Structure 1
């Protein structure tokens, strides 16, 4: 009996595939900027938004989007103005977001504590049709922006000063990355949860970097890996009755480990094959023929007659 005969499993699969496609498309820019952990920081701020929604009896997804967007824009402005380092700004997001979220959820009552677990660790199987539409639309917006603006976004991630001299709207593009990060974190929290959301944006990119060289090929491979991990995680979680978010992340990490081992082995074999080929092409030194004397008399020079 297939697990996909149930409607909630079909919705979970569609949502996971969409998120697995969009998250690495954004994550590659974060990895390029060496800000891989910003997803965790924004996720913690989104937890505060979830707490506000539960406390006010409003949609936690909507309040999480607003809180995450404000936090992402704040960290980008702090980084741009240079008033604090990126690590310090991320630390503020980490601790302030998680503390505010826990406090607000506690004020919302015991019933909200159970709902909080779904946002912390993901719960795609409880997503309604309306939730699925929100996920699909927001993921489509993120994916479209990341693909259409790829040259400009790559420029500011690779060399921000050069991009500014070239006339690109650096601040606008930086804020765009910040806002799309907040949106991606918010939609991905339904799949893998706020505590694991950064993994779905970073791990597929790290895996793709093991076997690709160009930015475009790395982006395409990361999206394929993310989609495969998300879809496979839904199937495995439904079959083995495990936590869906954790299963998706475990598959993504397993793919990274397998790819790293395979790529390392391939490079080692190529290096050895190249060394053998060099040795075969090198000419051997020809030693002079050894002179064998028939008798000791041959060693005495002849006297002139």
Structure 2
């Protein structure tokens, strides 16, 4: 494989694997609590961070991380305190982040909206060694939270009131999920792009849910799907000279379609088996 002969492709594939692991990992919780669109909101507000990075002549990735975390925490606080609905908070992130990014990038010396393109849609040729190291550091944090605290986070996603009664720090865990989602967005933006990162948080999870029945199985399969489509999409764009983000998302959609086709006969088989078992129990006088 000649693509591995190039340093920029090696970095891109490493970053793609990190995206494939982290995005579905936090996405599983967001889908569980019906906040699948949250990644889009954070992605848009991260545009402001990228633009600030250009304006202040500092790292756009770290600046985007900082701004995205602040935006995600602000949205979660607004939602939890009930001052306004979650939909309105998301809309504020969407439009405010986009407008702020466009305005600030044009204030930067020599800046233009063209400078945002690689961050908006992903670009394998622009992944630097510094970007790869940054993504690795942030990915370790995401994996530690999503896997290490999976029981607590799952409890909060299922029923906040019950989790609170059991003594879990619900507000802290909600804020931690928001911060983790923000960090994941900045991990993914160099490969998938800010405008498509939410798709990688949702589609692999939705595909995994078609064939799995438990939370842990869904989380594991979603991460596996994420890694496979991220690596495949990144490798494909090397040969066809296309944006990596679009290729990765299209592959994820293709996997979802295949999983859906596979799950339909499986669901019918399970339903027939359940009916047969019920009939046997009824015939033998066993209450089910």
Q: With structure 2 as the length reference, what TM-score do the two structures score?
A: 0.91
Q: Distance in 1 between matches of 2:11 and 2:62?
A: 20
Question: Contact (CA 8 Å) 2:124, 2:234: kept in 1 or not?
Answer: no
Tell me the SS of whatever aligns to 2:194: coil
* C-alpha distance after superposition, 1:236-294 (max 9, x if no partner): 1112222111101110111011111221244346667999999xxxxxxxxxxxxxxxx
- 1:179 pairs with 2:172: no
- 1:218 pairs with 2:212: no
99 and 267 in structure 1: CA distance in 2 versus 1, 3 angstrom threshold: same
* C-alpha distance after superposition, 1:46-74 (max 9, x if no partner): 00111111112221112111110111001
Q: Distance in 2 between matches of 1:12 and 1:21?
A: 14
Question: Contact (CA 8 Å) 1:106, 1:113: kept in 2 or not?
Answer: yes
Aligned 1:202-281 pairs, distance under 5 A: 202-268=202-268
Q: Distance in 2 between matches of 1:165 and 1:258?
A: 41
Q: Distance in 1 between matches of 2:14 and 2:68?
A: 24
My pick for the range that moved more, 76-85 or 104-113, is 104-113
Task: Find the counterpart in structure 2 of residue 19 from structure 1.
Answer: 19
TM-aligned CA deviation for residue 115 of structure 1: 2.2
250 and 78 in structure 1: CA distance in 2 versus 1, 3 angstrom threshold: same
Give the gaps of 5 or more residues in structure 2.
279-288
Task: Find the counterpart in structure 2 of residue 191 from structure 1.
Answer: 191
Question: Contact (CA 8 Å) 1:54, 1:112: kept in 2 or not?
Answer: no
Which structure has the greater CA radius of gyration? 1
Q: Distance in 2 between matches of 1:242 and 1:274?
A: 47
Task: Find the counterpart in structure 2 of residue 34 from structure 1.
Answer: 34
My pick for the range that moved more, 128-137 or 264-273, is 264-273
Q: Distance in 2 between matches of 1:270 and 1:179?
A: 39
Task: Find the counterpart in structure 2 of residue 55 from structure 1.
Answer: 55
Task: Find the counterpart in structure 2 of residue 4 from structure 1.
Answer: 4
- 1:132 pairs with 2:119: no
Q: Distance in 1 between matches of 2:274 and 2:36?
A: 36
Give the gaps of 5 or more residues in structure 1.
279-305
| Corresponding pairs, count | 279
Q: With structure 1 as the length reference, what TM-score do the two structures score?
A: 0.87
